Structure 1
Amino acid sequence: MRSSGILGSLQLAAAIGAVLATAVPHQSHAADADPGAQAQQTIESVMVTARRREEAVQDVPVAIAVLNADTIENTGSFNVGKLQQLQPSVQFYSSNPRNSAVNIRGLGAPFGLTNDGIEQGVGIYIDQVYYSRAATATFDFLDVDQIEILRGPQGTLYGKNTTAGAINVTTRKPSFEPEGRAEITTGDLGYLQSKASITGPLIGDTVAGRLSGSYTSRDGTIYNVATGQHINELDNLGFKGQVLIQPSSTLGITLSADYTRQDPLGYGQLYVRTGSTQRALARQYAALAEASNYEVPSTDPFDRVTDLDAELSAEQIFAGASALVEWDIGPGRLTSVSAFRKWDWGPANDRDFIGLPITTVSQNPSEQRQWSQELRFAASGEQLDYVVGLYGFYQTVDTAGVQEQGPLASRWLLSGANANNPDILNGLRAENDIGLKNTSVAAFGQLTWHVSDKLRLQPGLRVNYDKKDGKYIATVTNATNTPLTAAQLGVLAPQNYTPEFSDTNVSGDFTVSYDLSDSVLGYVTYARSFKSGGINLSGLPLDANSQPITAVQTVDPERVHHYEGGLKSQLFNRKATVNLAAFSTEISDYQATVTNSQANVIRGYLANADEIRVRGVELDISVQPLDGLNLYVNGAFTDHEYTKFPNAPCPPELSGGTTASAANPPSAPGTPGGFSPPFCDISGQWLPGVSKTAFSYGLEYDFDLPLLGADGGGYFAFDGSYRSKFSSNPSRSRYTDIEGYSLANFRAGIRAGGWNVYGWVRNAFEEDYFEFLATQSGSTGLVVGQPGDPRTYGLTVNKSF
C-alpha cells in the first residue's frame, strides 16, 4: 500500500482487536443488530444476503449497515435519498430526479451533471434487480423489509458500477400465512402518506400472493410568487404485486410487477448569494439585474420565495416486472433473476433560476428501457463456500431535448453591442435527438476457503464486457430562420456526432478474515474494481471555429485500487455491537465534470481526472445498556482530495474573463474584467459533496403501560445527524462551500394490540441548511441553491393484523 494513513488506521484497528479478543467473554459473533439505526429492538441476529447467500451480518467481512423495516418507517426514510441522515457514509444530491447522484464514502458519480452516457458508481438493487437510473433514489420504498448498505467496491458479486458500494433493498415476500399492514400519516405542509399491504395463500400451499401500495403528497417548500404556487412538492403513487409459486420444498418462483408515478410541481432552485467573477463588471449579476430593472423577491434563501417564470414539471414513471427462480440443487442453490424495467421522464425547468426570460424553455424528456438476466449458483460446504454466475444487461435511452432563449438572453449571455440587441438570441432554439444503446455481459465467481475454524480466505473475480453506442444531434434555429451568426453559435451550436465505446475489464478482490475470539472478527481486503467508461451525450465543447471537439466524446473507465481493514464485534453478552472499518481508495481516470473556456457554456461535459484518493475510518456502535433502552452512534471521518488534476475547470471566481496568455497572466480571483486561466490545477483540493466528519446518533426508550394491556407500551425516540462543511462545486469555490449542519428528529408513541400510534417532529430545531449550491451559467456570479426541509411535524397510525 502506498498510503501511510491507512497503515496507521489498520494498526489502530489491530490494537483494538487485540484488546477486545482478550477482554471479552466467549460468545457467538453470528448474532448482530442493525449496526446503522435500529432503535426499538434488542440486539439480535440479523441476516443479510450481501454475499448472495443468507448469513449473519457479523460473519460477513464487509462494512455493512443494515436498516430494518421499523427503522425505515419510524424515521420517515421513505426513499434512498433520506438514508443519508441515518448513515453518515451515504451522500445524496438532486436538483431533479434525472440529475441525481448517490455516493458512498464520497464516491459514485459527479453531481450537478446530466449525461445519459455515464453510469453511477453506487449500484442500487431491489429484490436482486439492478436499477441503472439514479432517479430510483427519489421513489418511495414499496413494502420494504430490509436495506443493506455495502460500503466499498462490490464489483465481484454486484457488477461493474459498484466502485463505491451497493444499496441492496429487499421487499417483503408473499406468505402462506395471511397478514396485512396499513399505515397513514398526516402532518403540516399538507403532508399525507398512506401505505398498505396484504398477503396470503391464493391456491392452497402452492401459490401465495402479496399486494402493496403507497401514496405520498406534500405541499412544496418554496413559494413561487410568479405563479402563486408552492413548488418542490411531493406527489408519489406506487403499487407492487407479487406471486410466489412453490411447487415443492426445493423450488420457488416469485413473479413481481410494479408501477410508480411521480407528478410534483417542481423542481426549482432559488437565489442564495452573489460573488465576483472575472467577467466585466457591467456583465455581472448586480449590473445585469439593474439594467433589466429586476429584483429577486428575497435575498434570504430561507424565506423560501422565488419568482421562476418558466414552466416547471417533474413527471416520471418507473415500472417493471421480474421473475426470480430459486432452486435448491444438491449442496447449493441455483438462482435466476430475469427483469425488465422502464423509466419515463417528462421535465420542464427554469435554467436561468430567476424571474427573467433568459432561457424560457429547458426540457429533456427521456425514455429508458432495460433488460437484465442473472444466473448464479451458490453453495456451502465444510471447507468451501462459493458463488459463480453469469450476467447480461441491455438498455436503451432516448432523449428529445429542447432549449430556447428569451428576449433577455442577449443582455445576460453576450457582450459589447450584441448585449443590447435582444433579437440576436430571442427565439434561438436547439432541438436535441439523443440516443444510447448499452450492452454488458459478465462472468463472476467468489470463493471462501475455511482454512481452519478461525481463518478464511476469500478471492473473487469478475470479467465484464461493455459496449456503448450513442448519437447526439442538435438542430439549432433562430427566430428568422436565417444562417446562424457567430454570437448565436457561441450559445447554442449545431452538433452531430455518434460516439462509440467498448472495453473488457477484470475486477477482483481478496479478503482474509480471522476470528480473533468467538465475538470478534477481523478482516483485511484488497479490491481492484472499475466503473464503466462512457460517452458524452450532453453536447461537446466547441473549438475556435464553433465545431465540436470530438476527441473528448468518450471517457475512459475509472480504475480503482481499494484497501480496507475492519473489526466486527459483539460485547457484554450481546448488549453492544462495535464495528470498525479503515479504508483507502485510489481512483485513476476519475470521471469528473469539466468545462472549457467558453463563457456561455450551458452544460459541462465529462473528462478523466488523473487521480483522486479517499481514505478514512468508520465506527458503528449499537448498545442496549438497559432493558428497553437502545442507543446507536455511527461516525465517519473521510479524508478526500484530487491527488492529480492539473487541467480542471476553474471555480466561478476565476471564470468569465478574457483568456489569459503569456502576455496577460491570470488575474487575482474575483477581478472584474480580468484574465481567466483556460483551466486550473486543483490537485490537493477537496472532492465535491464530501464532509470530513459526519455522524448519526440516537436512542429509543420503551416502557410498559399496563393500562394498554399485557403487550401495551410507550416509547420515546431521538435521531440526530451532523455533517461538517463540504464543497458543492466540482472545483472548490469560496462561493459554494456549504457550512456544516446538524439535524434533530423526535418521536413518541404507544403500541398495543398490533397498533402503533406516534407523533413526530423532524428538523426539530429549525436548522437552516442547504442540500447543494450551484452557479448560474455564463459566470454572472449568481449562486443558487436548494434549502433543506424546514421543521415538520405530524402523526402516524399503523396497524398490523
Structure 2
Amino acid sequence: MKLLAKFTAGVALAALATPAFAQSSDSAAGGEEAQATETDDGSSLSAIVVTAQRRAGDLQQVPVAVTALDSESLDRRQIGNIEDVFSEVPGLIGSNNVGQSTAVTFFLRGVGNTESIVTVDPAVGVYVDDIYIARQGVNNFGFYDVERIEVLRGPQGTLYGRNSSAGAVKVVTKDPSFDFEANGTLGYGNYNHFLARGSFSGPIIDDKLAFRINLMTENHDGYSYNETLDKNVNDMNFFGARGALLFEPSETFSIQLTADYMEDNSNSVYPSNLASLPGEASSDSLFRIFSDTEQGNLGKTWGMGLTATWEIGSATLKSISGYRETQQVYNLDLSDSVTPIYELFTDNDSDQWSQEFNISGAAGDFEYTGGIYYFREDSTSYLGNEFNLRVPSGVADPPFVIIPTIYNEQYIQTDSTSYAIYGELTYNFTDRLSAFAGARYTWEKKDFATQFFVGGTPAGFDAEGQVLAFDNDDLIALNIPVELDFEEFTPRVGLRFEANDDLNLYASWSRGFKSGGWLARLVFPTPNQVSPFPPEIVDSYETGLKAELFGNSVRTNIAAFYTDFTDLFNTFTNVNGGFSGTTTDAEIYGIEFEGTWRIVSWLDAFANFAWMEGNYKGDIPAGLAAVLGDELQRLPTTQGKVGMSAYYPLDGDAGTIKANFDYSFIGKHYTAITNAPISETKYQIANASIGWERADERFGVTLSCRNCFDEEYFHSLLDFSGLGFAPAYPGEPRMYMVSLNVKY
C-alpha cells in the first residue's frame, strides 16, 4: 500500500506538471485521428464513448484503465487482427502461441497463459459483441468492419466474471446501417502477400430491417526457409466472413442476429533451434529452418449471437445469447532438426453456449448495471507425443546416438458449467464526487475424463495398436479428483472525483479470478502427474488520472496499480521433455501512461508507456524455488510506443495526404519462468504508412510497411536445452504492401 501511495503522488505530479501527450478521441487511447473534431478548426480532440462498464460512458469519466481503438485507428495503425493490438496498449504483450498461427496468448500487466490445453483457461477474457470466447486456440480474429476495440486493464471480476483476472479485450463490430454502404480493400506485398476485404450494408425494409455482410481473405508465402524441405515455410492462408441482421420494429426495441466464420489453414510457425546438440546443424538466423516435418495448423471457428435490446424509460434491458464451435488441429516439430527429437500432435474441439440478461440505467443520483449469466462449454482433445531422444555418444563419429521412438496418445474430455449474478451501483454525491460498489457471485462446476495410450502411430488418431496405460478409474484410485466445484465472490469499490471539467481522478479496489483446472498434458504414462490446481485470485488496487488540457488539444491518462495474486498460475518445460505447471503467490505493480497531442488540426502525436515490476512471495517449496527465476515470465520492466499521425488536406479538391509512423519497444524479459538466459528477449518495431485519399473519400491508395527496419527477434521460446533443443519462435520480418481502398 505504501507503493500505491507513492504511485498516486507520482501520477498527480506527472499529469499536472507535464502537458505531455493526450489521450486520443477516435482511438481513445492510441491517438486521435485528425479529421474527427469538436470544433470547426479541428484543434480539439473529440469525445470518446466506451462500454467498459457495460453501459455507454465518456472514456475520460469512466473510472477504469481502458484503451480503445476505433475503425480509423485500426486502419492507420495496420491492425488487422488481435495480435496487432499488443503495442497499442501499455502493459500488454503477446504473440502467437508456440507454433500456432491461429492462437494468441496475452500477458496483461504480467499475467497470462501460454498453455492452450482444454483443461486450462486463459487469464485475459476475449469478448466479441459482449459474447465471451472461451478457447484461445482460434482467437486470432481478423479485423474488418470493426467499430472499435476496448482493452480493459486489470481484473474485471465484477462485470465480466471468470477468466478475466488480468483484463479483458472487447471487439465491438459495426451494426447494420439503414443507409447503403460499400467498402473494399485490395492489397499486395512482399512474400506474395495478398489481401482482399469487402463490406456491404443497407436496408432490407426501410427503417425496420437492415443487413451487413463482410468478407476477408489474406494469404502470403512463407517468410522462413526450410533447408531440409527446400521450401519456404511460415505461410498464411486466412478466410473470414460475418453477417448481421438488425430488426428495429420500434424506437425502443431492437433485435440483432449475427453469424461469423473464420478459417486459417497454414503450415504453423516453424521455430529455430537455439540449443543444437554437437554435430547438429545450427542456424545463424531465426528464419533458417532444418526440420524435416511437414507442419500444419488448421483453425476453424464459427459462432452466432442474438442480442435483443429494450429501452424502458431510463433503463436499458439486454438479452445476449451466444453459441460458438472451435476446432484446432496441428502438428509441430519442437526441435527444428533433420531427425525430429519431439513432435507434438493436437486436435481440439470445443462447443460453448452462453446466455446473459443485463440491465443498466440511471435513477436520480444513482447509476446502475446488473445481470445474470449462464455459460456452458464441452471440449474434447487429442494429444500425441513422438520422441526420438538423442544423447551425445562421446566420440566424433557419430556425435550422438538415437534412443528408439516413443509415441504416446492422450484423449481428454472436459465439461464446464458456470452461473453468475452481478451488479454495480454508482452514487453521485455531487456533480463532482461519486462512489461505486459492485459484486459478482459465480458458481462453477468442471468435469474431467482422460485415457492415456502407449504405442501406435501419429497417423492413426485412434487406439489401433496401442496399449491403455491409465484412465479415469486409475485417477480415482489415486484420489485425484475428476470433478471440481468453485464458488467465488468478486467485489469492486471505489471513488471518482472530478476536480474540474478537464481533470478526473479515481481510486478503486477490485477482485478477480481465473478458474482452476487440471495439469493434464503428459508425455509419459504417469497418472499421478495429473493434478488439479486451484483458481487464481487477484486483489487489485488502482488509482488513475484522466486529463484534457489546452482546450482539449492534449489528453493524457495515467494509471498506477498494485496487484496481489494468490495461486498465480504458471506453466514451464521440465528436464524430461514434459510440460508442467505450478501456482505461486505473487505481487505486481506499475504505472501506465497513454496520451495524444493535437499539434495542429491535421497532425497528432501519440504515445503509451508502461513501467512494471513483480516478484513471487510467500513460502515457496524448495523444489519449486529451484525452478522459479527471480523475475516473472513475460514481464518487461519497460515497454512503450510513440508515433505521429497526419491527415493533411491538399489545396482545392486535390484530396488528402494520410501518413502514420510509430515506434514500439519491449524491454528485456524472459519467456520462461526459469529465467534461463537462452529465453531472454527484447525487441523494437517501427511501422509506417503513407497514402492519398480523394477529397470525397471514395478512393485511396496506401503504401505501408510493418517492422520496417527488419528487426529479427523471437517472442516465445521453449527451454528443452538439456535435451538438445530450444525452439525460438520468430516475429514477422519486414512486410510491406500497396493497397487500394474504395468507399461508397
TM-score (norm 1): 0.84
Structure 2 residue matching 1:125: 3-state secondary structure: strand
Shift of residue 606, structure 1, vs aligned partner: 2.5
Could you tell me which residue of structure 2 aligns to residue 234 of structure 1?
A: 236
Paired amino acid for 1:295: A
- Contact conserved, 2:408 with 2:455, CA < 8 A, in 1? yes
- Contact conserved, 2:225 with 2:289, CA < 8 A, in 1? yes
2:385 to 383, 403, 408: 403
Could you tell me which residue of structure 1 aligns to residue 683 of structure 2?
A: 741
- Contact conserved, 1:30 with 1:57, CA < 8 A, in 2? no
- Contact conserved, 1:187 with 1:793, CA < 8 A, in 2? yes
- Contact conserved, 2:76 with 2:660, CA < 8 A, in 1? no
- 1:347 equivalent to 2:330? Answer yes
CA distance in 1, matches of 2:27, 2:326: 36
Structure possessing the higher radius of gyration over alpha carbons: 1
Shift of residue 630, structure 1, vs aligned partner: 0.5
Q: How does 1:190-209 map to 2 (within 5 A)?
A: 190-209=192-211
Task: Report Cα offsets for 1:115-152 as digits up to 9, x if no partner.
Answer: 21111111111111101112344231242110011111
Could you tell me which residue of structure 1 aligns to residue 136 of structure 2?
A: 134
Cα pair distance change 1:595/1:632, threshold 3 Å:
closer
Structure 2 residue matching 1:135: 3-state secondary structure: coil
CA distance in 2, matches of 1:635, 1:54: 26
CA distance in 1, matches of 2:594, 2:333: 42
Shift of residue 412, structure 1, vs aligned partner: 7.6
Structure 1 residue matching 2:625: 3-state secondary structure: coil
- Contact conserved, 1:115 with 1:536, CA < 8 A, in 2? no
- 1:697 equivalent to 2:675? Answer no
CA distance in 2, matches of 1:32, 1:300: 43
- Contact conserved, 2:24 with 2:555, CA < 8 A, in 1? no
- Contact conserved, 2:26 with 2:70, CA < 8 A, in 1? no
Could you tell me which residue of structure 2 aligns to residue 327 of structure 1?
A: 310
- Contact conserved, 1:33 with 1:44, CA < 8 A, in 2? no
Structure 1 residue matching 2:293: 3-state secondary structure: coil
- 1:441 equivalent to 2:415? Answer no
- Contact conserved, 2:269 with 2:729, CA < 8 A, in 1? no
Task: Report Cα offsets for 1:435-483 as digits up to 9, x if no partner.
Answer: 110111100000011111111101010000111111121111279xxxx
CA distance in 1, matches of 2:34, 2:265: 34
Shift of residue 702, structure 1, vs aligned partner: 2.6
Could you tell me which residue of structure 2 aligns to residue 665 of structure 1?
A: none
Could you tell me which residue of structure 1 aligns to residue 595 of structure 2?
A: 621
CA distance in 2, matches of 1:412, 1:513: 64
Shift of residue 169, structure 1, vs aligned partner: 0.8
- 1:573 equivalent to 2:551? Answer yes
> Higher mean Cα deviation, 529-538 or 164-173?
529-538
CA distance in 2, matches of 1:370, 1:396: 6
- Contact conserved, 2:595 with 2:606, CA < 8 A, in 1? yes
Q: How does 1:519-598 map to 2 (within 5 A)?
A: 519-539=502-522, 547-549=526-528, 553-594=531-572
Cα pair distance change 1:730/1:17, threshold 3 Å:
closer
- Contact conserved, 1:179 with 1:198, CA < 8 A, in 2? yes
Structure 2 residue matching 1:9: 3-state secondary structure: helix
Could you tell me which residue of structure 2 aligns to residue 767 of structure 1?
A: 711
Cα pair distance change 1:213/1:307, threshold 3 Å:
same
1:636 to 610, 620, 626: 610
Paired amino acid for 1:460: G
Cα pair distance change 1:32/1:319, threshold 3 Å:
closer
Paired amino acid for 2:298: E
Paired amino acid for 2:64: V
Paired amino acid for 1:531: K
Structure 2 residue matching 1:549: 3-state secondary structure: helix
Could you tell me which residue of structure 2 aligns to residue 103 of structure 1?
A: 107
Q: How does 1:114-153 map to 2 (within 5 A)?
A: 114-153=116-155
2:29 to 35, 43, 46: 35
CA distance in 1, matches of 2:407, 2:648: 65
Structure 2 residue matching 1:59: 3-state secondary structure: coil
Task: Report Cα offsets for 1:376-420 as digits up to 9, x if no partner.
Answer: 111113300101100000001111222334xx4365899xxxx99
CA distance in 2, matches of 1:327, 1:412: 70
CA distance in 1, matches of 2:532, 2:61: 41
Task: Report Cα offsets for 1:493-548 as digits up to 9, x if no partner.
Answer: 656547221110000111100001111000001112211111223138x7xxx742
Shift of residue 594, structure 1, vs aligned partner: 5.0
CA distance in 1, matches of 2:345, 2:30: 39
CA distance in 2, matches of 1:186, 1:32: 27
Shift of residue 227, structure 1, vs aligned partner: 2.1
Paired amino acid for 1:607: T
- Contact conserved, 1:531 with 1:558, CA < 8 A, in 2? yes
CA distance in 1, matches of 2:257, 2:177: 13
> Which runs of 5 or more structure 1 residues have no equivalent in the other structure?
275-284, 480-487, 649-677
Shift of residue 358, structure 1, vs aligned partner: 3.3
CA distance in 1, matches of 2:177, 2:304: 19
Could you tell me which residue of structure 2 aligns to residue 685 of structure 1?
A: 630
Could you tell me which residue of structure 1 aligns to residue 277 of structure 2?
A: 286
Shift of residue 635, structure 1, vs aligned partner: 0.7
CA-based RMSD of the aligned residues comes to 2.7
Cα pair distance change 1:33/1:310, threshold 3 Å:
closer
Cα pair distance change 1:533/1:788, threshold 3 Å:
same
- 1:301 equivalent to 2:264? Answer no
Structure 1 residue matching 2:159: 3-state secondary structure: helix
Q: How does 1:483-502 map to 2 (within 5 A)?
A: 494=470, 496=472, 497=475, 499-502=482-485
TM-score (norm 2): 0.91
Between Structure 1 and Structure 2, how many residues are aligned? 711
- 1:800 equivalent to 2:743? Answer yes
1:381 to 360, 363, 381: 363
1:7 to 5, 20, 24: 5
CA distance in 2, matches of 1:776, 1:520: 51
Shift of residue 5, structure 1, vs aligned partner: 2.0
Q: How does 1:423-462 map to 2 (within 5 A)?
A: 425-426=404-405, 428-462=406-440
Could you tell me which residue of structure 2 aligns to residue 726 of structure 1?
A: 669
CA distance in 2, matches of 1:10, 1:548: 49
- Contact conserved, 2:719 with 2:725, CA < 8 A, in 1? yes
CA distance in 2, matches of 1:318, 1:102: 19
Could you tell me which residue of structure 1 aligns to residue 42 of structure 2?
A: none
> Which runs of 5 or more structure 2 residues have no equivalent in the other structure?
38-44, 458-465, 476-480
Shift of residue 775, structure 1, vs aligned partner: 2.1
Cα pair distance change 1:85/1:493, threshold 3 Å:
farther
- Contact conserved, 1:17 with 1:516, CA < 8 A, in 2? no
CA distance in 2, matches of 1:713, 1:152: 39
> Higher mean Cα deviation, 64-73 or 753-762?
753-762
Cα pair distance change 1:615/1:714, threshold 3 Å:
same
Could you tell me which residue of structure 2 aligns to residue 505 of structure 1?
A: 488
Shift of residue 627, structure 1, vs aligned partner: 1.9
